[in-house]
Amino acid sequence: MSNKQLIYGNREHWAWYLYDFGNSAYAAVVVLAVYSAYFKGSVVGGAKGTALWGTSVGIAMLISAVLSIIMGPIADFSATKKKLLFGFSAMSWIFTALLFFVTKGAIFLGMLFYILAEIGYRMGQVFYNGLLPEITTSKDMGRVSGNGWAIGSMGGIVCLLIVLPIILLGGDGNFPVRISMVITAVFFALSTIPGLLWIKERAHPQKLPAGQNYLTIGFTRLGQTIKNIRHFKEFAKFMVAFLIYNDGIMMAMDFAAIIGGVLYGMNEVQLIIMMIIVQVTSIFGAYVSGIYGEKAGFKKALMISLIMMLGTIIWMLFNKTMIGYFIITALAGFALTGVQAVSRTMTGFFAPKGQSAEFYSFESVAGRASSFVGPAIYGWLATGVAIWLERNRAMEKLLAEQTGQRAGLISIAVFLIVGLIILTTVNEKRGRQAAAEYVQQGEESSHGG
């Protein structure tokens, strides 16, 4: 019996990993390497493209934040995390494929289809993360989370290697870039099939009280958690830290391709090669952070990853060469994946049993808020500085735009530093104890009733 459980558990883990394998392909091709640069440079063009890209990211994150905070508690109550995971993922596949129809000047369609694809992608992550505590134990959660990021990064590499020769050999038109969106959507969809077949949601749906519906239940459970926030002080402090340092992480990820294009004149092929290197180092970053976190503590692992990420941003401010940028982004890939993997693990530890989706919805809100604020600040700051310098004839157009990008880099460093400072106040041990005590109190109350 134990052997069967072991095989089944491993199969579930692999199905969970393969979902990350697929959605990381979306992140690598659409967000990081291909579509962001294509939208900025070809669909819009000029410094305005940076601002509109930041606006698109911000809108998607804001909508995702509102949806996740309501639907997280509903998913826990109704035991529908798996259904919602695949429903929102399908939304992402469809609108990623529709990016094929975005051509030069089609700014509205380019923003609309990306925003809808991004909402599906981000919402799917809430329920994907929420399933993590159901398919793991406290002993292997950190390792499984790290493995998920590592194997997910491999998915990004594979998909980039598929679209690279298409873009490289496809000529000067934008058709190769557009068809790569369809390929990415199919890649993402196929990678989710094992999860649909093998992942088992262990939570059981609860009966709706008289006069209630799922929407009112969602708000009621959310209100109860907020009311009891004093019990989860460490989680609350962690979420504040996460909200701030994740701003820096998302800014770096969302504008990596644009930074490469503006500061170093990188073309689409060079950007894809850069992103493949980033994905390779991300594999090691996720794996090492999970192992180190289990041995030395996840907070310590997270702080080391953040310090390394901060170091890459400072280096980037002074770097002048494309080779240097390749090295910097390789180190950043190692660091930022460690940040993301360990952050997910810590949320899982701080979440009481049976409320994983709800607590991951808080992480999602913090992540989406930071993903809204950070990219919007970066986009408008970089654009504003560039336009001001150009209008005042302080610099020629390209140099002004490059200076704007460096101003954006400084804002990334500020967010990382502030988030790191707040993270030092979080007590990991107390956070875990609070989750266990909350479950015990609930059981005692139920037994007493």
Helix/strand/coil (H/E/C) assignment for every residue in the chain? CHHHHHHHHHHHHHHHHHHHHHHHHHHHHHHHHCHHHHHHHHHHCCHHHHHHHHHHHHHHHHHHHHHHHHHHHHHHHHCCHHHHHHHHHHHHHHHHHHHHHCCCCCHHHHHHHHHHHHHHHHHHHHHHHHCHHHHCCCCCHHHHHHHHHHHHHHHHHHHHHHHHHHHHHCCCCCHHHHHHHHHHHHHHHHHCHHHHHHCCCCCCCCCCCCCCCHHHHHHHHHHHHHHCHHHHHHHHHHHHHHHHHHHHHHHHHHCHHHHHHHHHCCCHHHHHHHHHHHHHHHHHHHHHHHHHHHHHCHHHHHHHHHHHHHHHHHHHHHCCCHHHHHHHHHHHHHHHHHHHHHHHHHHHHHCCCCCHHHHHHHHHHHHHHHHHHHHHHHHHHHHHHHHHHHHCCCCCHHHHHHHHHHHHHHHHHHHHHHHHHHHCCCCHHHHHHHHHHHHHHHHHHHHHC
pLDDT digits (tens, 9 = 90+) for 30-84: 987 789 889 988 999 877 887 888 789 878 888 888 888 788 888 888 889 999 9
How long is the chain? 449
pLDDT digits (tens, 9 = 90+) for 354-370: 677 677 777 767 766 66
Tell me: pLDDT of 449 over 80. Answer: no
Q: Is residue 346 domain-resident?
A: yes
Best-predicted range by mean pLDDT among 314-328, 397-411, 431-445?
Answer: 314-328
CATH number at 73 reads: 1.20.1250.20
Best-predicted range by mean pLDDT among 7-21, 149-163, 164-178, 303-317?
Answer: 303-317
Number of domains the chain contains: 1
Q: Report, as an integer, the average pLDDT of 137-159.
A: 84
pLDDT band at residue 158 under the 50/70/90 scheme: very high
Q: Report, as an integer, the average pLDDT of 248-263.
A: 85
Tell me: pLDDT of 303 over 70. Answer: yes
pLDDT band at residue 15 under the 50/70/90 scheme: very high
Domain that includes residue 129, residue range: 8-202+214-442
> What confidence score (pLDDT) does residue 448 get?
52
Contact in structure between 26 and 188 (CB atoms under 8 Å): yes
Tell me: pLDDT of 8 over 50. Answer: no
pLDDT digits (tens, 9 = 90+) for 373-387: 777 788 888 888 888
Q: pTM above 0.85? A: no
pLDDT digits (tens, 9 = 90+) for 318-355: 999 999 999 999 999 999 888 988 998 888 888 887 67
185 vs 89: CA distance, rounded Å = 10
pLDDT averaged over the chain?
Answer: 85
Q: Is residue 89 domain-resident?
A: yes
Q: Report, as an integer, the average pLDDT of 285-293.
A: 86
> What confidence score (pLDDT) does residue 441 get?
63
Tell me: pLDDT of 108 over 90. Answer: yes
- Percent of the chain surpassing pLDDT 90: 35
Q: Is residue 448 domain-resident?
A: no
220 vs 197: CA distance, rounded Å = 32
> What confidence score (pLDDT) does residue 159 get?
93
> What confidence score (pLDDT) does residue 6 get?
40
> What confidence score (pLDDT) does residue 77 get?
84
pLDDT band at residue 426 under the 50/70/90 scheme: very high
Count other C-beta atoms under 10 Å from residue 425's C-beta. Answer: 12
- Percent of the chain surpassing pLDDT 70: 90
Query: Does residue 334 or residue 272 have the better pLDDT?
Result: 334
88 vs 137: CA distance, rounded Å = 26
Q: Is residue 153 domain-resident?
A: yes
Q: Is residue 284 domain-resident?
A: yes
Contact in structure between 8 and 197 (CB atoms under 8 Å): no
> What confidence score (pLDDT) does residue 4 get?
41
Q: Is residue 140 domain-resident?
A: yes
Q: Is residue 209 domain-resident?
A: no
> What confidence score (pLDDT) does residue 208 get?
78
> What confidence score (pLDDT) does residue 189 get?
97
Q: Is residue 447 domain-resident?
A: no
pLDDT digits (tens, 9 = 90+) for 111-132: 999 999 999 999 998 899 889 8
Q: Which of 154, 115, 139 is nearest to 23 (CA)?
A: 154
Query: Does residue 210 or residue 234 have the better pLDDT?
Result: 234
